[in-house]
Structure 1
Amino acid sequence: MKLNKDIRIRILYILVLYIIYSLLLDKYNYVAKYLTNFIFILFIFVKFIFGQLDFYAERFRYKDVFITLGIDMIFSVMLYAFWKQLNIFYIYLIIFIFQIIFRKIVCSIYMKKQNVLIFGSNHIKNNVQEDIINTLDYNYVGYISNNKSRATKYLIGNYSQMEEIISKKEIDVLVIVKDIKSPSFKKYLKRIFDLKINGLKIINYEEFNEDIQKKIDINQINEEWLLQSNGFDILSNEMQKNIKRGMDIILALTLMVFLSPLALITAIIIKIESKGPVIFKQTRIGENMKPFRVYKFRSMRMHDPKKHSRYTLDNDARVTKFGKFMRKTRIDELPQLWNILKGTMSFIGPRPEWDILAKDYARKINHYNLRHLIKPGITGWAQVMFPYGENLEDAKKKLEYDLYYLKHQDFILDVLIVMKTAKAVLLGKGK
């Protein structure tokens, strides 16, 4: 995953914060190696949960100041309860001041957004406009097009005004979107490349959209794209595969030991609440299109699947009361640790799809089976970036995120997925 500006700022912020934290604790002789490091990791995770690792230029708000203050106060009280020393509050006051100054500097000075103009209108249906507005790297000026039939408020001119707009708006990045409905598109496209504007970066929409939305538009995929695209290291790097598999085994064994009491209590409640087996088994499609049995704690009442929707709907009557809780907290996924040990699943990867739905999707969605090139996961990029799918269109959108993960998988992206998953569990956003 490319270290974009957002990630670089977060890494710098965490490193400097850790240095200040360590020096202050060391000064007052409060360093308890494992305890203080664990508290710092917890501190950073809580800040992530409450959005305090986001440094968008427009986001220096008093709301962020109060949230930061609240988090710092909670952690200072925690450490005071352990050491009974008032200096702890002094330490966290300094940390609080640093956090506010850092945010102010980043938001008002460091951030220099590039002005982006989009050439063409075929990007509108993908809602990329709102995503550009919320990025650190780009200031969305608008788009130019001769197609006014579906114009939005961001339309600022037509193709003939291109040179004037580029000069007047001081455009840094020009994004080319194919507009096949415009007969004059190619003529103006040639003029773009004939322009000699210093510093103007011209990129195609597919590349730009992938960077902004963190997904791959399946409408742009063809055999030529697959051959020419960079990435997909997870498919060919054996060392990367082995490391991922090793981590899966270690984590699965560790969690099975520590969570076994929770699993036992869950099994008892399921058995008491409704008739049927404790473990739900279903055939899913795994790596290289191989079917396998997935295991979950049963969260639904026994029913005839032929008489109900293939998808779990909001307020689905089939879901038990405890089943709703399990789905929110992902407790129902615990038996999948056995799938990980068996090697049919990983912790992170595309969601394993029911074989019946997978066959249907493969017929109706182009390149759907690309997601089966790697092991499915308990959680994944699509799961944390898109809500639970309930129809064919949702399956298409989730596939775009799965393909992005397939192309860009690395340690940083996996850590981000784990943190987003934990955030969803803690805030009860599971389903």
Structure 2
Amino acid sequence: MIYFFIIDLFFAGMFYSLVRTFGMFMTFGVLFLAQIFLKWVIQQFFIKRYKVIIYGNNKNKEKIMRTLIENVQYEYVGFVSEEKKEREEYMGNINSLEEVIEKKKIDKIIIAVDQLNDVELDALINFKINGVEVITYKEFNEQIDQKIDISYINKTWLLESIGFEILHNTTQQKIKRLFDIVFSVILLIVTIPIFLITAVLIKLLSKGSILFKQKRLGLKNREFEIIKFRSMKIHDKKDYSKYADEDDPRITKFGKFIRKTRIDELPQLFCILKGDMSFVGPRPEWDELCYEYMKKIPYYNMRHLIKPGITGWAQVMYPYGISADDAYKKLEYDLYYMKHQDLMFDLKIIFRTVKIVLFAKGL
């Protein structure tokens, strides 16, 4: 909603500068209220609400229930459990499930338990082949959180999990590469004035080179040199942390601006053309940090199965990280991206990145 307001106010200000009438602000105020009303109408009448029942009664069920209640896409109907519970939303046991599905017109069953006996399996499989979506709580959490909980991952999961087409679909890989080349060439042409102005200001406002270069780990753990506009003062690396937070004294005033607006990332377009990077992918981390994370974080090396990107799902979903714990959480988003990557997902990430840059949130 705040985005609608800011965008409407921006255009109202632009039109006011042309026509000089305060009536423009009233017009855009009406449009703002109309947008809110239209969004409410769409949510209430056009977005299908899936009726959901939970199978099982444990801590997983409580978390799923809260998520369902908070999400406008779902209508929580109740739960079925082999242990009878005197609660309002208790709908019976496995033998009652068919009647509940027919009576309540259930669309989805979420399994909250880890182990099922043969009777339960047969019943749930029957519902699945007859049109009711049946998923585990792990799959549901992945859908809702749009990340993969690393604690769920093991060798069996890696073997059986569907998706990850980006790792083996050569056609999809070629399309992604073509998109990278075309889009980076267009951006390089469009941003030539920004390149020149930024280079001049960096040189005038602080001592040191215009560009910052550093070794990063990329596809298949190959080292490559990343190029960015320098946003920090020249300093002795031994005297500072390996991480740079927002208030880091090394960052220049102009450096804060180009980091916030992502202008410092523009030289990485040459890394894309060279083939070391992609537009969308896991963030390319400093090689020294990567080797540390590989020792501390399980499955961290999986993120190097694809090319790193200027932007990515982890970058738009999680704030800038300065610790191994942050790297762990961002890996969950990187793995989700790798599992579900396609062109539409890449475009979604790019649009989110543009929105973040326009509203100066940084990444």
TM-score range, shorter chain: 0.7 to 0.9
Cα root mean square deviation, aligned: 4.1
Q: Tell me: CA distance 1:313–1:427, structure 2 relative to 1, closer, same or farther (3 Å).
A: same
In structure 2, distance between residues paired with 1:118 and 1:72: 49
In structure 2, distance between residues paired with 1:256 and 1:96: 35
Indicate which of 381, 387, 394 corresponds to 2:326.
Answer: 394
Task: After TM superposition, list the pairs within 5 Å mapping 1:148-167 onto structure 2.
Answer: 163=93
1:272 aligns with 2:200: no
1:381 aligns with 2:313: yes
1:117 aligns with 2:49: no
Aligned to 1:245: 177
Q: Tell me: CA distance 1:320–1:156, structure 2 relative to 1, closer, same or farther (3 Å).
A: farther
In structure 2, distance between residues paired with 1:279 and 1:144: 61
In structure 1, distance between residues paired with 2:307 and 2:226: 13
In structure 1, distance between residues paired with 2:316 and 2:285: 16
**TM-score for both structures, normalised by structure 1:** 0.68
**More moved, 251-260 vs 357-366:** 251-260
In structure 1, distance between residues paired with 2:306 and 2:86: 44
In structure 1, distance between residues paired with 2:344 and 2:303: 20
Aligned to 1:224: 156
Aligned to 1:404: 336
Aligned to 1:343: 275
1:418 aligns with 2:350: yes
Q: Deviations over 1:374-416 (max 9, x none)?
A: 1100000110011111211211111111111111111211111
Q: Tell me: CA distance 1:272–1:76, structure 2 relative to 1, closer, same or farther (3 Å).
A: closer
Task: After TM superposition, list the pairs within 5 Å mapping 1:177-216 onto structure 2.
Answer: 177-178=112-113, 201-216=133-148
**More moved, 282-291 vs 109-118:** 109-118
SS of the residue corresponding to residue 207 of structure 1 reads helix
SS of the residue corresponding to residue 115 of structure 1 reads strand
Percent sequence identity over aligned pairs = 45
Matched length:
346
In structure 1, distance between residues paired with 2:77 and 2:323: 35
Do the aligned residues in 2 keep the contact of 1:72 with 1:96 (CA within 8 Å)?
no
Aligned to 1:106: 42
Q: Tell me: CA distance 1:336–1:398, structure 2 relative to 1, closer, same or farther (3 Å).
A: same
Structure 1 letter corresponding to 2:135: I
What displacement does 1:270 show?
A: 1.5
In structure 1, distance between residues paired with 2:79 and 2:285: 38
SS of the residue corresponding to residue 353 of structure 1 reads coil
SS of the residue corresponding to residue 415 of structure 1 reads helix
Q: Deviations over 1:300-345 (max 9, x none)?
A: 1122223222222231111111111111100110110110111000
What displacement does 1:121 show?
A: 4.5
What displacement does 1:241 show?
A: 1.2
SS of the residue corresponding to residue 283 of structure 1 reads strand
Give the unaligned 5+ runs of structure 2. Answer: 20-27
In structure 1, distance between residues paired with 2:321 and 2:57: 30
Aligned to 1:175: 110
Structure 1 letter corresponding to 2:246: D
In structure 2, distance between residues paired with 1:300 and 1:162: 63
Do the aligned residues in 2 keep the contact of 1:280 with 1:297 (CA within 8 Å)?
yes
Q: Tell me: CA distance 1:271–1:143, structure 2 relative to 1, closer, same or farther (3 Å).
A: farther
Do the aligned residues in 2 keep the contact of 1:351 with 1:376 (CA within 8 Å)?
yes
In structure 2, distance between residues paired with 1:76 and 1:269: 28
